[in-house]
Each structure stands twice: as structure tokens, then as C-alpha cells.
Amino acid sequence: MIVIFTLIIGLIIRKLYIRYFPIWHIKCTNLSSILSKKSTQIIDVRDYNESNKMPIINALNIPIGYLKRSYVDISINEIHIVASNKLEKNISIRFLRKKGFKIIGYSLTTCDCK
């Protein structure tokens, strides 16, 4: 009984970690400085409705729900993430790192980087 309880608690803690625990080594950067770089691909993980309201030039739009099946469309190894909130940012960065991509920064549409 204790083993099952420990397993359930461990799974809950893992899910909370993936979603809400911040990623320390990835900095919030201004999107205008990234747009000029040709070696960096911008991945927009916002929903289609949000990304159509505020489109980003030369960004590959892969919503967070489609990331697991569409990450093969990413051709450049250095990536800048554009997300609407911290939850999308955390999940997408952890997933893409696990697949071998190098995340150089992120931008949130809800706040400006300082």
C-alpha cells in the first residue's frame, strides 16, 4: 500500500515540476533582437487564435498541443520560443530540450523582458 501511495505522489510531483517549476538557464530576451539572426529559428507555441491576432514574421507556429507530432518540422537547432504564458514556455522548452534542440531564449507575449 505504501509503494502505491509513493508512486502516485511521485507522479503528481513530476507533473507539477514539468508544468510549473521555472527553467533557470534560459533567459527572457527581446524578440526584436532575435528577428535579425538567421541562425535562430523562432517557434511560436501559442494557439492559432492568439498567433493570428499578433503574428510574428518568420516564426514557425506549432501550438503546444501539436508539438509532440510536429517537432520534426523544426530544421534549425538553435530555437527561440514565443509563448503566451509561463506554462506553455516551461512545457515547450523541456520537451524540445529532451529532443536535442538548443533553446537560446524565450519571449512571453504577456510581459516585456527587462
- CATH number, domain of 91, equals 3.40.250.10
Please give the grid coordinates belonging to residue 45.
507555441
pLDDT by residue for the chain (114 residues), tens digit each? Answer: 899 999 999 999 999 988 888 888 888 888 877 777 778 899 999 999 998 998 998 899 999 999 999 999 998 889 999 999 999 999 999 999 999 999 999 999 887 776
Inside any domain, residue 74: yes
Confirm whether 114 is domain-assigned. Answer: no
The boundaries of the domain holding residue 56 are 2-108
Residue found by looking up cell 527553467 in the block: 23
Q: Identify the pLDDT of residue 14.
A: 92
Cβ–Cβ under 8 Å, residues 12 and 50: no
Q: CA end-to-end span of the chain, whole Å?
A: 49
